[in-house]
Structure 1
């Protein structure tokens, strides 16, 4: 009895999935380009609320972002791929060391854009060669709604924290997409399995979720410490704690993480030494030193001034008077972002010293935001216990 031969499209799909696995992807599934019809309305509503903050690029090419065929008219299928970066320990443990810097888990690795793009090209190359089709690869660099497409392909579902959640990999997946003219058999979409759980919402230090499944980026620590180019509103600074780049809180508390095995992909392994850097050392970074320390990681793209701004907020939150010297050393920095937060941190840690330095600083300060920080009411010094 002869075994029925698989259709060519199914054979091609299996070859693509096998290559993806060989390249280190944890999961690879297929969605039709027509699989997210609700995306345009949802994106429009989110933008209308201003929840994208100053990420102006989110408003650009909205039709292409929400409708895959608008981005590439010949596309018929989307191969969605996920690579796990699940930790082998508690990524929130660093929050208990206020004199150390908390850097988001994903950013303590080689930049995932560089790693995944090469792997996507390998998978796409096989698809193009064996299928005689056209392909385009995307990894967070084009107007592609990766998370809705990933849900449509069955990789997981968008949780109440808006991040993709997988039953096998928790909240720890990097995503990539391959658009293709091949009409591959689509996988079933994943349904929502959050239930009544709201751990990710309740843990947010800055109340960035106005409702389940809604994120207001303007209050999100990841946005504030990475994307936001200006001064961070004073009402949000205390919630930032010692998080100097990104925030893992809502991801780390997801119950589905218990099924995720620690990531074994060597080229995405953690960079030694970036898990508990002293704030005092980071405050001393000039631009060359910053670039050298964070070479090859996502942190480098933020730039020295914005990063040191974040470090000074962490110093101001530390309740460690010994870090006042780090703040004082930066009150005359070339960057107004840095000077403003140096003044703020100093008024919190050493108010008497700040009062002494303020007159001289204000004499030469032309930036209105920096001047405002010097003139803010000085807190009473805490009594020694």
Structure 2
């Protein structure tokens, strides 16, 4: 498919950084909170050790449910207006979290903030799909994810830095400030990537027809389900990371650095993927990474059950697993989006909804099993990896490591700056 140039000047690099920045608002809203979970729990007098995890999971559930809303709106009104409105809501409810004096009110505000911010992932996928397809889209998404992963590296450190000088409420003000910067950038620089002739009216017939086409596309739905299962252990780790490193390993002083190391591993996986995916294809790369993920999970589970697990070994094995997630995420998403052109918004919306709901639900359940050890988390990695592989096997009808050729234009390989 031959893609037209954007209607006003914005280079590929700026587009990548902008999309990564929008997507990073979600990672920032989750990861910056981790050093403050204990303080928030103490201030609100939470009685259950795992109750603090709802500060993270309530936001993620908002992300999951909100994803279903924005595809149809973006296909009708365009990508840019929806980004601006939802970013505004993200800012307002971040400020509401800062002034909440009731834990239930805070969780509700976090849920609505996640509900709005879910648009970022949906629309980033749609905008990139407007411009690229196939392996070119996978390469671009990997580059976006590589830039995006700078946020999980820095977010806990930023949260810890805020706590040195201010109470935990200021963290939510910082979130809203970053949201305001993103809103201004989008307002000034983002072109509308949806062509006028591709806009579709919102009606239940067209929406359900688009959803039906996504649900009944075996390869697409298989990769969405596999992607959700691969993200579930990541969400479980994020939800329970503060407890694992503070309580299990007594490593509170180096928590932010260990968390950053795992984010770097994911960023490195995305970087390598962006360099090799055009050569080997998204399927070959992601399926190889998935098998290695399962292999690492088996080793991790065996070491844990044997009682030999130490903090350094846990960090090494966790980083190896996170690196493989970096290879699978962008590739699975790109493969799932490949069949959908004009309906990219609805397809991305439904796929993000399904992916995030699966990962939030399963990841939340795994995180809440925390019992003072890493066994629930490690078991989750193994089971989710195996289930993900089975869905890929089903989606590909047992034919692994094949390559589906797509037409790649010169502009997709190197768009004009």
* TM-score normalised to structure 2 length: 0.27
Q: Which has the higher contact order (CA 8 A, sep 6+)?
A: 2
Greater C-alpha Rg? 1
* TM-score normalised to structure 1 length: 0.29
Greater helix fraction, Structure 1 or Structure 2: 2
